[in-house]
Structure 1
Amino acid sequence: MPQPLSTREANLFRQVIRNYEDKQYKRGLKAAEQILKKTPRHGDTMAMKALILNAQGKTDEAFALGKEALTVDMRSHICWHVYGLLYRTHKNFEEAIKAYKFALRLEPESPQIQRDLAILQIQMRDYQGYVQSRHAMLQAKPQLRQSWTGLAIAHHLAGELQEAENILTTYQDTLKNAPSKTDLENSEAVMYRNMIIAETGDTQRALEHLESDAKDNLDRLAVMERRAEYLSKLGRKDEAATAYRALLDRNSEHPQYYYDLIKALGIEEDAKAKKAIFDEYADKYARCDAARRIPLDFLSGDEFREAARRYLTLMLNKAVPSTFANLKHLYSDSFKKETLPALAEAYLESEDGKKVQGKAAALYFLAQHYNYHLSRDLTKAMEYCEKAIELEPKSVDFAMTKARIYKHHGNVKKASEAMDYARSLDIKDRYINSKAAKYQLRNNENEKALKTMGLFTRADTVGGPLVDLLDMQCVWFLTEDGEAHARRGNTGLALKRFHQIWNIFDIWQEDQFDFHSFSLRKGLIRAYVDMIRWEDRLREHPFYSRAALDAVKLYVSMYDASGAGLANGVNGSASGAAADGGADVAAEKKAAKKAKKEAQKAEREAAEKAAKQDPNKAAAAQKGKGEEPAAKKDDDPEGKKLAQTKDPLDDVMKFLTPLLQFSPKNIEAQFAGFEVFLRRRKYVLALGCLNAAHALDAEHPKVHLHALRLRHALDAETLGGLPAPVQAVIKADFAAAAPPPGADLKKANDAFRAAHGASAPHVLAAAQAARALGEDKAACERAAAGALEVEGVTLEEALEAYEVLKGWKSGELEAFRTAAGGKWPGATVFA
């Protein structure tokens, strides 16, 4: 039984609660200690002390005390509520929900417990549970609009659209006085109800509701857009066209309005009628860019040439830097790809082209044209870029393009130097500063890049620029930094960066907690629903995919380097990391040692910088009513523990599972899954990834490579030794991607090589497959090196072959490097 409190201690306990709510943790802890000194078995006080310790960052100690508080008083709703909060801190949301439900049984009228439970249910997407919680909250406070809105949202997200609409309608009917026209919360609720009606598919009723209830809505743009959309869907073309024209008069630069107007008029296939629409708005709005640029997408022949000439002349006269970026999407059409540079050349010969500003802009356009991958001629690109720089030596744009040309030459060192020079031309520009840092990272200059980024981070950040970049969640820098460390052989820091990116996405997932209550309080309902749906697709973002693929590649190479992949006979030549008995240990140790010294040096410099700072700043930051929780110390700043993992294939699933779940149409994600599952002998899962890749691109060279590797692995494993269900799945699903069991895999690979001899990636894949099948090592190496001789081979394809030979520690490597250097003089990527 819990010990009762005297009046004095009861007052102290209330003070503990106030101190916690006001973030006065030290005072609250002191008051709790006073209570426990006299009544050491008071569960509620123990629970509140645990909560304060948790807020101070002492989570393990807090959790232990929270459990002890429960053993003292199992009937206390405070103890159960705190227990749930502690589980939430540990991200064990299922157990937290259970604890909240226990607390709610003991104290059904507690709004705080009910609110915390509801927030966790929506966070976990337990929509039915959220509906029940919101219903209880509505019964407790039916006078609040947000109680009704919250229940409507719960039904909406659960897919019960009619119930959601009924809730909003019922609340509206209970109002005795009509809301003011300036009531923002009511205005948003009306548009939210209209959104729900539209999602039911009843467009006619949605339009009627819009024209009756939302005619005076504060969000005029949303009303106009929805009205135009509904009219178009209902086939009322004339009215829809009028509605879209009203939107264009409001914003003539919005491309979608033009497309929707054309669709409403039914002239999608009539180029002349479409051009008339754009000409109308080009005449009406003299400074409108969209009306002049969009027709270039559908015009052809002489009409295109004339429209492009006018547009290009206008842009070059103004020296608009983004001209090429606005037009490069047209290069998918060969006629337009040839016409645009010809027009730029003609402009240079015209009177307009003799003016310095216009001439420089035209030269810049041509430099970008020849630097673009669909029209690449790097020699010409550099010529035009140098001419442009002669005219305007201080142009940041021209200097940046020169750096990009060096990058496409494969000379990452000169590219880095050129981009740093471009940065020096405008030291106040954050964008060019970031570009310079990115190029330095591509040149494996991690420390230099961090100093460059430090020019725009907070100077007073303890720990230096990296800590500030982490706080600012600068994902692109962390990704590039991790990739550079991986290239340098510093596995620990590379893994550290990829895990930091994973944590950032995890933080974005957790950040929803703040908005579940905030959005209802502020009445931002539509934005909140959009956010929930966006969060459901969060990890399909390209930033996550790239970092996850990097992490998978690194973990797989760690597994292969340990010799386990070779022992299993499945690593073949896919990664090449252990094809000759493991990685070059001495080289790896040397690179890791060098990286460690550099990291220690950077850490010392950061510590010295922090020591020189005004100590009064830290004291001033602590002043005030609240106390911030202690920052959690990173016990593995260099990623040593991550690099010392005993089971890399288990650790990699943290990255791989969301990658496959949210990016199923990313073929590289499917290949990454195949590599992991094959090594784990999860043959059905490996086959699933292979089939998914085959469905995405059956002609991709890696589909052939992995199909043969999987068939070879199954033959070595003996298919009959696998469980019957596994055998059934493999026999049923394998036919499309690879030869049947018992087929001659060598002959199949030879046929593939013969059929695709004109493609460097396919030649390389055939060589890798031959190596995986156990064919002659020297012959496989010569075949892989032969990819360099394929006509039309690109620098990127040659670099891929080079990395494979490097992984094999091939005797062909030096000859390949020499030949590639002759083919791409100045390229440093083969060094």
Structure 2
Amino acid sequence: MPQPLSSKESSLFRQVIRNYEGKQYKKGIKVADQILRKNPNHGDTLAMKALIINSQGRPEEAFALAKVALRNDMKSHVCWHVYGLLYRAEKNFEEAIKAYKFALKLEPESQQIQRDLALLQVQMRDYQGYIESRRAMLQARPQIRQNWTALAIAHHLAGNLASAEDVLTKYEETLKNLPQKPDIEHSEALLYKNTIIAEAGETERALEHLQAACKGCLDRLTVMEMKADYFLRLGRDQEAERAYRALIDRNPEYRMYYEGLEKSLGPKDDRASLKYVYDEIAEKNPRGDAARRIPLGFLQGDNFLEAADMYLRRMLNKGVPSTFANVKSLYADTFKRDTIQDLAEGYLTIEAHNPAPQTNGTDEKPANGDTSKFRSSVLYFLAQHYNYHLSRRLDKALEYIDKAIEISSTSVDYHMTRARIWKHYGNLQKASEVMEYARTLDEKDRYINTKAAKYQLRNDENDAALKTMSKFTRNETAGGPLGDLHEMQCMWYITEDGESYLRQLKLGLSLKRFTAIFDIFDVWQEDQFDFHSFSLRKGQIRAYIDMVRWEDRLREHPFYSRAAISAVRAFVLLHDKPHLAHDSLTNGTHGGDKDFGKLDSNERKKALKKAKKEQQRQEKADAVKREEKKISTGGTTADGEPKKADTDPLGLKLAQTAEPLKDTMKFLNPLLEFNSINIEAQNVGFEVFIRKIKEAGPLPPKISEVIIADLTPLLPSEDTSLSKHNDAFLSKHSQSPSHIYSALRTRHLLSPDSSRSQDEKILLDTLDLPNISMQEAREGLDLLKDWNSGSLAEYRAKAAKKYPRATAFVDGKATNGENKA
């Protein structure tokens, strides 16, 4: 039992609670101290003071005080509840749950403790515990609808669909009169119940429930979509067709409605009839695009030629910038790609007096009086066509975009495409310059601003990119533009910045950025906590279920995969070349190109000493720069809470880790768990585990059986050595650069001390292969760098002659961003 207080002090204690809830922390501590002067060992007051101190950003002091409170009053549910809240703030949910359960034993009627426990249980996906907590809350207060809904959700998330439906049904039975016109909460509850029935596989009953109980639901669009889906699943095609046509009438641009309509119409063998359906819809929607674009996917031969011609003329005549983006998915079909190319090329020969005949069924006027508009649209389309990887001819792409710019020199889109062409040439410096010029044509456009910054980062112009981004950030915030980008969770920028520093071997800054991405995903995972109760209050149950399931697969997100893979590569570099931890600020100039592993002990000590000295000099310079820009100031969060100052703004502590392979597991484990089909994730995982000698020891029989079954066709026979097997692989794939690189890497793993002169010649000869791409040529250059080869200059000269517009071979600049969108 809590220690008793006098009536006056009890009133003061209630004031402490109000101060805490109102975030009046200084007043709260003042009042708590007033109580403690007379009752210095009062556990509840000490606990509340600890809670306030924790809210002020002093967790260690708060925990120490909370332990004192518990020692003074072990049987106080307030002390145990506060102890759980402190652990909750530290994200130690397991210990918080233990504390909550102990508090609940002392005060089983406390709704607040029960609710806090339930929220943590669902956060931790302890669904069985969540069911028990929600059942107890329902029994305590059965008159509240939220308690019924929450118990149904608990059963649903645990996979007990029948129990979830039963809970909702029992609540409906307690209502004397169902609302004639449902409010939002009842409407959502009915639709939620319907989704549960459908998830259980009872489509017929779900349809019956939808038609009977959900007719008056406020979300009419969802009801229509569910009904169309159920009709389709049940094979009631005519009703499904009518339902999807009604949906298309509401939104004629939504692709999924057309997919449902096609399924309801049966097989696509009769393409003429299907085309008639789309023509009918297009006639009803003269300004629509989907009904005209979608048929291009299933039409063939002359029918495709006619439809593509009409579509392209219509779009180019209006000067729609997204025309190429709309049709590029057709390029997987070579006939369609070539047909579109021939049509677009042919438009350039159309007489100026009639560039684009009017298309039937539209209210668009022909561009008879504006030949330049049509011509520039065609040139822009062709520039994108020849820049696309399935139809790439960069010389023609550059020719066409230059002609388009001659007609419209202030078009931002045209200059952006020109920048992309230079990017694909491999000249990132030129690409960055052109994109920056495009930005100056419309300085109020945020999109072109971010594009310019991205191209600057690809060219490793980090300071210039941050300056560009600062035009649209709150620069007065703590940390300046960079601090605001982190605060706004601008993941594309943080990721690109980290990859740029990784290319420059500035591993501290690189890991700093990737760790920021990791922390953002932690924040996303933490942010769901408030929605466990918010969604119940607002009645948005279906959206809540979707959110929980999305959070369960959160680390599948491409941004996490990309940052994690790069972080693992950085840690592997630190494991293989420890001097880079001290060398990362100087762009690898103090040993970055040396084979550090082959230095003797004295040379290694000298290299590390030199790197550390240079790092200390750089640290001092950066400290002055940081002070001037106030990069590492604390400030406050959006909630007004104190923000911790960044004590390691350059990531030096991250780079100077004593156990890089151990640190990499934080990134690698979620990557392998949620992105197991990602080949890059498997590759970096192998690089880590091979260094940790993870394969040592016998494998479980089932795993061994799978591995042997998959590897047997790839392994050499018993009388063939691995070296001979690798040589045979090299001979078999002598026309494929990527296969050649793999074979040469394997050769030097098998025989690290063998002569490399022959292999260097093989690498030089790959540049003569007719199918080698510039990216593959750069991989060959990187391989020579790894070997510290004396043939680097010769390779660069030969590659520069083959790719005269690329910069990577001219100055040896290490960039790898040119093939990303």
TM-score by length of 2: 0.90
Q: Is the 8 A contact 2:66 2:82 kept in 1?
A: yes
| Aligned equivalents of 1:591, 1:482: Cα separation in 2 | 22
Aligned to 2:365: none
Q: Does residue 777 of structure 2 align to residue 798 of structure 1?
A: yes
Residues 132-168 of structure 1 deviation map (CA, whole Å, 9 limit, x = unaligned): 0110111111111111000000000000000100111
Residues 409-437 of structure 1 deviation map (CA, whole Å, 9 limit, x = unaligned): 10010111111001101001111000000
| Aligned equivalents of 1:145, 1:727: Cα separation in 2 | 49
Give, as a single letter, the amino acid of the residue that structure 2 aligns with 1:151. L
Q: Is the 8 A contact 2:633 2:645 kept in 1?
A: no
Give, as a single letter, the amino acid of the residue that structure 1 aligns with 2:355. D
Q: Does residue 798 of structure 2 align to residue 819 of structure 1?
A: yes
Going from structure 1 to structure 2, the CA distance change for 1:748 and 1:522 (only over 3 Å counts) comes to: same
Give, as a single letter, the amino acid of the residue that structure 1 aligns with 2:130. Y
Give, as a single letter, the amino acid of the residue that structure 2 aligns with 1:193. K
User: Structure 2 matches for 1:397-436, cutoff 5 A?
Assistant: 397-436=413-452
- The offset of 1:458, in angstroms, is 1.2
Count of residues paired in the alignment: 773
Going from structure 1 to structure 2, the CA distance change for 1:540 and 1:594 (only over 3 Å counts) comes to: farther
Q: Does residue 461 of structure 2 align to residue 449 of structure 1?
A: no
| Aligned equivalents of 1:727, 1:208: Cα separation in 2 | 47
Aligned to 1:187: 187
- The offset of 1:606, in angstroms, is 2.5
Residues 384-414 of structure 1 deviation map (CA, whole Å, 9 limit, x = unaligned): 0000001101100000001001100100101
Q: Which moved more, 1:780-789 or 1:632-641?
A: 780-789
| Moved segments of 4+, more than 4 Å | 575-602, 608-611, 722-728, 730-734, 740-743
Q: Is the 8 A contact 1:43 1:72 kept in 2?
A: yes
Residues 574-626 of structure 1 deviation map (CA, whole Å, 9 limit, x = unaligned): x9975655998799779968975785565344339999xxxxxx9xx99xxx9
Aligned to 1:614: none
SS in 1 for 2:472: coil
Q: Is the 8 A contact 1:787 1:793 kept in 2?
A: yes
Aligned to 2:588: none
SS in 2 for 1:790: coil
Aligned to 2:361: none
The counterpart of 2:678, out of the listed 666, 670, 691, is 666
| Aligned equivalents of 2:328, 2:40: Cα separation in 1 | 74
SS in 2 for 1:511: helix
Q: Is the 8 A contact 2:2 2:77 kept in 1?
A: no
Aligned to 1:344: 344
Aligned to 1:708: none
Give, as a single letter, the amino acid of the residue that structure 2 aligns with 1:137. M
| Aligned equivalents of 1:381, 1:592: Cα separation in 2 | 45
User: Structure 2 matches for 1:120-199, cutoff 5 A?
Assistant: 120-199=120-199
Aligned to 1:85: 85
Give, as a single letter, the amino acid of the residue that structure 2 aligns with 1:352. P
SS in 2 for 1:253: coil
Q: Is the 8 A contact 1:576 1:804 kept in 2?
A: no
Q: Which moved more, 1:270-279 or 1:198-207?
A: 270-279
- The offset of 1:4, in angstroms, is 3.8
Q: Which moved more, 1:773-782 or 1:65-74?
A: 773-782
Q: Is the 8 A contact 2:729 2:743 kept in 1?
A: yes
Aligned to 1:767: 744
Give, as a single letter, the amino acid of the residue that structure 2 aligns with 1:753. L
- The offset of 1:507, in angstroms, is 0.2
- The offset of 1:779, in angstroms, is 3.0
| Aligned equivalents of 2:109, 2:424: Cα separation in 1 | 67
Residues 532-552 of structure 1 deviation map (CA, whole Å, 9 limit, x = unaligned): 000011110111000000001
Going from structure 1 to structure 2, the CA distance change for 1:627 and 1:191 (only over 3 Å counts) comes to: closer
- The offset of 1:130, in angstroms, is 0.5
The counterpart of 1:505, out of the listed 521, 527, 534, is 521
Give, as a single letter, the amino acid of the residue that structure 2 aligns with 1:780. D
- The offset of 1:736, in angstroms, is 4.7
Q: Is the 8 A contact 1:579 1:808 kept in 2?
A: no
Give, as a single letter, the amino acid of the residue that structure 2 aligns with 1:683. E
Give, as a single letter, the amino acid of the residue that structure 1 aligns with 2:712. A
| Aligned equivalents of 2:596, 2:541: Cα separation in 1 | 55
| Aligned equivalents of 1:382, 1:165: Cα separation in 2 | 62
Aligned to 2:57: 57
| Aligned equivalents of 2:98, 2:674: Cα separation in 1 | 29
Aligned to 1:205: 205
Give, as a single letter, the amino acid of the residue that structure 2 aligns with 1:9. E
Going from structure 1 to structure 2, the CA distance change for 1:168 and 1:636 (only over 3 Å counts) comes to: same
Aligned to 2:640: 628
Aligned to 2:267: 267
Aligned to 1:20: 20
Going from structure 1 to structure 2, the CA distance change for 1:137 and 1:727 (only over 3 Å counts) comes to: closer
| Aligned equivalents of 1:763, 1:666: Cα separation in 2 | 23
SS in 2 for 1:458: coil
Aligned to 1:756: 733
Q: Which moved more, 1:170-179 or 1:397-406?
A: 170-179
| Aligned equivalents of 1:315, 1:587: Cα separation in 2 | 63
Going from structure 1 to structure 2, the CA distance change for 1:91 and 1:728 (only over 3 Å counts) comes to: closer
Q: Is the 8 A contact 2:579 2:608 kept in 1?
A: no
Identity %: 57
- The offset of 1:629, in angstroms, is 2.2
User: Structure 2 matches for 1:6-405, cutoff 5 A?
Assistant: 6-350=6-350, 351-352=354-355, 355-405=371-421
Q: Is the 8 A contact 1:224 1:247 kept in 2?
A: yes
Q: Is the 8 A contact 1:580 1:808 kept in 2?
A: no
- The offset of 1:494, in angstroms, is 0.6
Q: Is the 8 A contact 2:480 2:631 kept in 1?
A: no
- The offset of 1:288, in angstroms, is 1.3
- The offset of 1:781, in angstroms, is 3.3
The counterpart of 1:606, out of the listed 623, 629, 644, is 629
| Aligned equivalents of 1:737, 1:30: Cα separation in 2 | 74
SS in 2 for 1:789: coil
SS in 2 for 1:277: helix
Going from structure 1 to structure 2, the CA distance change for 1:505 and 1:250 (only over 3 Å counts) comes to: same
Q: Does residue 651 of structure 2 align to residue 639 of structure 1?
A: yes
Q: Does residue 729 of structure 2 align to residue 729 of structure 1?
A: no
| Aligned equivalents of 1:814, 1:794: Cα separation in 2 | 20
The counterpart of 1:648, out of the listed 636, 649, 660, is 660
Residues 75-117 of structure 1 deviation map (CA, whole Å, 9 limit, x = unaligned): 1111111111111122211111111100111111111111111
Q: Does residue 816 of structure 2 align to residue 829 of structure 1?
A: no
Q: Does residue 481 of structure 2 align to residue 469 of structure 1?
A: no
| Aligned equivalents of 1:736, 1:85: Cα separation in 2 | 57
- The offset of 1:38, in angstroms, is 2.2
Q: Is the 8 A contact 2:428 2:455 kept in 1?
A: yes
Give, as a single letter, the amino acid of the residue that structure 1 aligns with 2:664. V
Aligned to 1:711: none
The counterpart of 1:808, out of the listed 761, 773, 787, is 787
Going from structure 1 to structure 2, the CA distance change for 1:73 and 1:216 (only over 3 Å counts) comes to: same
| Aligned equivalents of 1:759, 1:135: Cα separation in 2 | 64
Q: Is the 8 A contact 1:81 1:113 kept in 2?
A: yes
Going from structure 1 to structure 2, the CA distance change for 1:627 and 1:196 (only over 3 Å counts) comes to: closer
- The offset of 1:652, in angstroms, is 0.2
Give, as a single letter, the amino acid of the residue that structure 2 aligns with 1:829. A
Residues 513-566 of structure 1 deviation map (CA, whole Å, 9 limit, x = unaligned): 1100000000000000000000011110111000000001110011011399xx
Q: Is the 8 A contact 2:668 2:685 kept in 1?
A: yes
- The offset of 1:741, in angstroms, is 7.5
Gaps of 5+ in 1: 565-574, 612-617, 685-721
| Aligned equivalents of 1:737, 1:727: Cα separation in 2 | 19
SS in 1 for 2:767: helix
